[in-house]
Chains A and B, each alone.
Chain A
Amino acid sequence: MTQTWSRARIWALIGYAVAAAAMFAAPLYLSDFRLNLLAKFLAFAIVALGLDLIWGYTGILSLGHGVFFGLGGYAMAMHLKLQASGGRMPDFMDWSGLTALPAFWKPFESLGFAFLAGLLIPGVLALILGYVTFRNRIRGVYFTILTQALVIIATTLLIGQQAYTGGTNGITGYSKIAGQSISSPDTKQMLYWVTAIFLVVAFVLCRFLVKSRFGKVLRAIRDGENRVRFIGYNPALYQMTAFAISGVLAGLAGMLFVLHVGIISPSMLGIVPSIEMVLWVAIGGRGTLIGAVLGAVLMNGAKSEISAQYPDAWTFIMGALFIVVVVFLPGGVTGLVERLKFRKRSVSEHEQEAVRHPAV
């Protein structure tokens, strides 16, 4: 028994090693165009990890991660825009009639500040939202609706405050990052590796979290929040922590996304992208980290392939996939693999029941 388990573990380690090698070697076998796409998908995988932590493991569905992603994205975009403007005011401010750079923009001239802001602002916002909701035991569907409201507030503010945020167009037109041209193939390759490294770091961090006793308490909260209370834990603190970490990861992903895509605008953090992020996790398999990563990469890969050939088909395919997953594969793709493994070991009905009905 222990021998077969350790063999499974060895195979898993080999799998991870091969996947990591393939990821880091991608510049050798992918064209610049495809490498750039993959870099974007890897950034998405980081959001998916964060979402999985709060949804897959803790049972709290957030349809507002676009906001955290967007805040990270805007922080980086502000820095890049200032770099491109060469000490002058960004062009869109001029058009909106501003005469001087707003004070809150100034610190973003420093890459270090922008990077920290891109992590901390989403993290603190998540912490505050978590504090007011979880402490008052707002959960389930009500929490999910609140996160949607957050998205609407954020996009409305970003569009409305055009002079400070670039409005509907967002912030674009970058030239340099850390003194290098942002569009040169060399820089792009370097940024790809940076993203890959951050994905590995995020994955290792999440793995540490979910394997720790903290992670077991998170899963216990998903299974029965009240019971957790009666064994002496305060679930609100755990939910807040998980939600804040999840927000930080989304912010990190947003920063990397901007580096690869060269633009951030309100439409990239709206309702639809926020829901799409959840779909990656659902289809890949919530409650397993590798499922979240695969879901993000494969779904986005499929999206760009299919949209290229049949521009209108993707939305329908995504909707259909979602229905198939909800009805037939509640554990997503990784859940399917698990189920096949369990079938071999003939596990009781109850177990499958637990997979089928994780708390929303």
Chain B
Amino acid sequence: MSKKPSVILQCEDISVSFDGYKAIQGMNLTLERGELRFLIGPNGAGKTTMLDVICGKTRSTSGSVIYNSSDGPVDVTKKKEHQIAGLGIGRKFQAPSIFPTLTVFENLEIAMRQRRSVFATLFARLTAEDRERVEQQLVMIGLQDKAPWRAGGLSHGEKQWLEIGIMLMQEPSVLLLDEPVAGMTDKETDKTGELLKEIAKLRTIVVVEHDMEFVRNFASKVTVMHEGKLLKEGAMDEIQSDDRVAEVYLGKRRNADASRSTA
């Protein structure tokens, strides 16, 4: 077995501008294998854009994202979205994006790690092993009773879990989650927290989050962004006692909360 580098993802000097507006300016982010990292910051700090760059949704203007895949290091800024997903970087969007007219089971079936070519899917059979994998996933996300439902009929929280399930079925090494608890009830938020802790045992996760209560539940490293730049990185206690963070982030929390409630 080859020795795996302890760093799984290294974003160096990432800049993104949209028609002159600089959403991200020289951002660095390094993730260790198996880490659970929270990315926080006020609205417009560039958190979601950062995830977009990593998963290929947005092209960075400059900088590189080196991903240490099982086949060696790759600069994913040069790859297409489906290739990045195939390399093992999964993404969950803020608004639950599932396939509403497929059943819950089918949603997971097509997401399953498998060959993605047209030919392969034409003749793919659902083997007993496949079925078992999907069923295990259903149990993990708590939707085992809803397998034959059309996904469009699920509640908001259930859709979020299904999307996490869709992502996990790909067996990614890195998961990028954008506000996984937005719009959830307290009970659903707790359940999602448990789910995240479970997943984090095996994989590297980056979570963009507004809900500070939720972040406090996890003893993990937090990265604070502000105006497209890295402001502070460290444990939650350090972050909370930092004056600059308090100024830019906590001072603006009221706005952030207001926008979240309307989201």
Contacts and interface: CB of A to CB of B under 8 A. Distances in A.
Interface of A: 209, 212-214, 216-217, 219-220, 222-224, 226-227, 229-235, 237-238, 241, 347-348, 350-351, 353-355, 358
B251 interface: no
B73 interface: no
Contacts of B123: 212
A237 B107 CA distance: 20
10 contacts: A216-B106, A220-B102, A227-B97, A227-B98, A229-B85, A230-B82, A232-B82, A237-B117, A350-B150, A355-B101
Interface in B77-120: 80-82, 85-86, 90-91, 93, 97-102, 106-107, 109-111, 116-118
B152 A217 contact: no
Contacts of A348: 153
Contacts of B160: none
Nearest to A233: B116
A48 to B, nearest CB: 20
B166 interface: yes
Contacts, number: 98
A6 B106 CA distance: 20
B110 A220 contact: yes
Contact of B101 (A222, A229, A233, A235): A222
A232 B122 contact: no
B70 interface: no
B101 A223 contact: yes
Contact of A212 (B85, B124, B152): B124
Given A213-B121, A214-B121, A216-B110, A233 B82 contact: yes
B86 A232 contact: yes
Contacts of B23: none
A351 B122 CA distance: 27
A312 B53 CA distance: 58
A223 B86 contact: no
Contact of B110 (A209, A231, A235, A351): A231
Contact of B154 (A227, A347, A350, A358): A350
A358 B100 CA distance: 10
Contacts of B117: 237
B178 to A, nearest CB: 12
10 tightest A-B contacts by CB?
A232-B85, A354-B152, A223-B99, A213-B124, A229-B81, A214-B121, A350-B153, A213-B121, A348-B153, A232-B86
B40 interface: no
A216 B109 contact: yes
Interface in B13-50: none
Given A231-B111, A351-B150, A354-B150, A219 B99 contact: yes
Nearest to B126: A213
Nearest to A229: B81
Contacts of B170: 231-232
A232 B99 contact: no
A226 B57 CA distance: 9
A275 B39 CA distance: 50
Interface string B194-237: 00000000000000000000000000000000000000000000
Interface in B150-178: 150, 152-154, 166-167, 170
Contacts of A230: 55, 57, 81-82, 85, 90-91
Contacts of B107: 220
A347 B121 contact: no
Nearest to B97: A227
A139 to B, nearest CB: 15
Given A213-B109, A230-B55, A230-B85, A219 B80 contact: no
A23 to B, nearest CB: 28
Contacts of B122: 209, 212-214
A227 B80 CA distance: 13
Nearest to A287: B101
A354 B111 contact: no
Given A212-B121, A214-B121, A231-B85, A220 B150 contact: no
Contacts of A231: 85, 90, 110-111, 166-167, 170
A123 to B, nearest CB: 15
B100 A229 contact: no
A351 B106 CA distance: 15
Contacts of A234: 80, 82, 116
Contacts of B124: 212-214
B97 A232 contact: no
Contacts of B102: 216, 219-220, 223
A233 B86 CA distance: 8
Contacts of A209: 122
Contacts of B91: 230
B221 to A, nearest CB: 25
Contacts of B86: 232
